[in-house]
Chains A and B, each alone.
Chain A
Amino acid sequence: MPETLPADSVGLVTPHTRRFDTPLKLDCGRTLPGFELIYETYGTLNPARDNAILICHALSGDHHAAGYHAMSDRKPGWWDTAIGPGKPLDTDRFFVVAPNNLGGCKGSTGPNTPNPETGRLYGADFPIVTVRDWVRSQALLADVLGIEQWAAVVGGSLGGMQVMQWAIDLPERLRHAVVIAAAPRLSAQNIAFNEVARQAIMSDPDFHQGHFYEHDTVPRRGLMLARMLGHITYLSDEALRDKFGRELREGRINFGFDVEFQVESYLRYQGQSFVDRFDANTYLLMTKALDYFDPATERGQDLASVFRDALARFLVISFTTDWRFSPQRSHEIVRALLDADRKVSYAEIESQQGHDAFLLNIPQYMSVLGTYMRRVARECAQ
């Protein structure tokens, strides 16, 4: 809990909710009759309305990207390292908008909100949403906020995929695309990990085909396993070794299946605490959105040809020990952009923390992002 708010914090923030009553046609063929998006904003929209930045969240993220909801909060929003006065996404210059995606579980319409057709919670009846659906819904939000064109759309991991989709689908509506720790599509290995996570959730006896809310229960064990697996893939071998090594909790081996190694205890804690803050159906939806993302598929897997439609300048960032979306995957993005003759810069950040690095305060990372964003700010000041 912060006694006082740090000077470079956006401070206490309150989420807003926006209701959309026009039907939204989704990639899966189904239509949402209406929906709500919850979002937070930091900074001020300038009179020219050209200093807005959209932040796209990753798998387990939400709209609370920076600052605190209450002085009693233990931690700030998920990307507080990068968003705030004087930080790379400088709220003294930019108006930052961070929505919770459709299908999320933190206030936007999703599996844990009521289905107007039945009056009960959607649960498994919530349609599968894609990255493209998210971009559509975010564009509607931009419309009501009076933002014709984002100065930049920024995101890491699954968020980075939304950034690419924005640049491809709505090229006129963003000037810069910042794609961090992402990939142009998942590998078979990525999909395999997602499938194990989904199976862990769906095979939990408390899952009830996704309608567990009505049974007043939660597939705790499944969701916990899914998160434990995910967590291993977010960290690097080095990061785990540095943090825990083979350290034993009681200093000796007990020849049993209770927690013996510190890393086991850590993973169980991560898994358990996730259950308290995240919804199993949303986890299923988000991993599916990841699996389906493949913008090149409509053009014979020619990503360069897809990027030829993009007008934004790109900044692509990867991290050396990220093995979930390795630098090699970012090279694929950069290569396609180069082949398409787009304007792109690429930085490969040395870090030990694996995929999670994109949320951390790594000086070179913050310096690259901050330098680039200062240039974006100079442009919109002109």
Chain B
Amino acid sequence: MKRLRPDFALISEWIAQGSRVLDLGCGEGTLLRHLRDTRGVSGYGLEIDDANVVRCLENCVDVIQSDLDDGLADFFDDASFDYVVMTQTLQAMRRPDRLLEEMVRVGREGIVTFPNMGYWKNRLQLAVAGHMPVSRALPYTWYDTPNIHLCTLQDFERLCDEKGLRILQRTVVDAGHREQALAAVRPNLLSEIAVYRFTRA
């Protein structure tokens, strides 16, 4: 899957030194490698793609090849990680709601990032131009996209509410993962990418 340039600094600020991290949809293992090298983190990545699995091995990142849509029950006990991280993958899941529950079952805290469908430019493309949004954060055409469950910040927070997940922290950034002062005022409208840290309420 094509990825946005991830801002690892942002996520790693939230992750305590020496903790255990599970990275869902870890791609080439770049985040885990970064966390290992800068924060002494240990952990595993989960990845479905053949080529990415090989890249993880090249990067000396421990990777478990598996389909996130099958859940985590096959491999992971309750509370076996400090953090379960999932960057830019939630929207591609068959049942994102179930996966969020799995994240807080397996980890003490969950961290997700996803593109905000409520971003003003997305709304504009749909409302004014009358077509599905295509942008840096959402670079796919509607018929050829891994993203099957797009949501807005409001949708996500409502789901967390329903599932009994407590949001500990939220940062909203643009597609370059830069924090935007203005976005903090009207996040659902002004942020392109959402980054959340949450736990079981």
Contacts and interface: CB of A to CB of B under 8 A. Distances in A.
A and B, one complex?
yes
Interface of A: 315, 328, 331, 334-335, 338-339, 343-348, 350, 364, 367-368, 371-372, 375
A328 B74 CA distance: 9
Pairs of residues from A and B, 8 with the lowest C-beta to C-beta distance, nearest first: A371-B57, A346-B64, A348-B65, A347-B65, A331-B74, A345-B62, A364-B50, A371-B54
B128 to A, nearest CB: 44
Contacts of B60: 375
A375 B57 CA distance: 8
Interface in B26-84: 44, 50, 53-54, 56-58, 60, 62-66, 74-77, 80
B75 A368 contact: no
Nearest to B77: A339
A368 B64 contact: no
Contact of A345 (B50, B56, B77): B56
B157 to A, nearest CB: 32
B53 A347 contact: yes
B23 to A, nearest CB: 13
28 contacts: A331-B74, A334-B64, A334-B75, A335-B75, A335-B76, A338-B44, A338-B64, A338-B75, A339-B77, A343-B62, A344-B44, A344-B64, A345-B56, A345-B64, A346-B65, A347-B53, A347-B63, A347-B65, A348-B65, A364-B50, A367-B54, A368-B53, A368-B54, A368-B57, A371-B57, A372-B57, A375-B58, A375-B60
A334 B65 CA distance: 11
Contacts of B64: 334, 338, 344-346
Contacts of B65: 346-348
A134 B44 CA distance: 32
Interface size bucket, B side? 10 to 19
A368 B57 CA distance: 8
Given A331-B75, A335-B74, A338-B44, A344 B54 contact: no
Nearest to A338: B75
B50 A350 contact: yes
B55 to A, nearest CB: 9
A183 to B, nearest CB: 15
Contacts of B63: 345-347
A292 B164 CA distance: 47
Point out which of B54, B57, B58 has the most chain A C-beta atoms below 10 A from its C-beta: B57
Nearest to A369: B57
Nearest to B63: A345
Contacts of B75: 331, 334-335, 338
Interface in B5-37: none
Given A335-B76, A368-B53, A371-B54, 18 more contacts: A315-B57, A328-B74, A331-B74, A331-B75, A335-B74, A335-B75, A338-B80, A343-B62, A344-B44, A344-B62, A345-B57, A345-B62, A347-B53, A347-B65, A348-B65, A348-B66, A350-B50, A371-B58
A364 B80 CA distance: 30
Contacts of A339: 77, 80
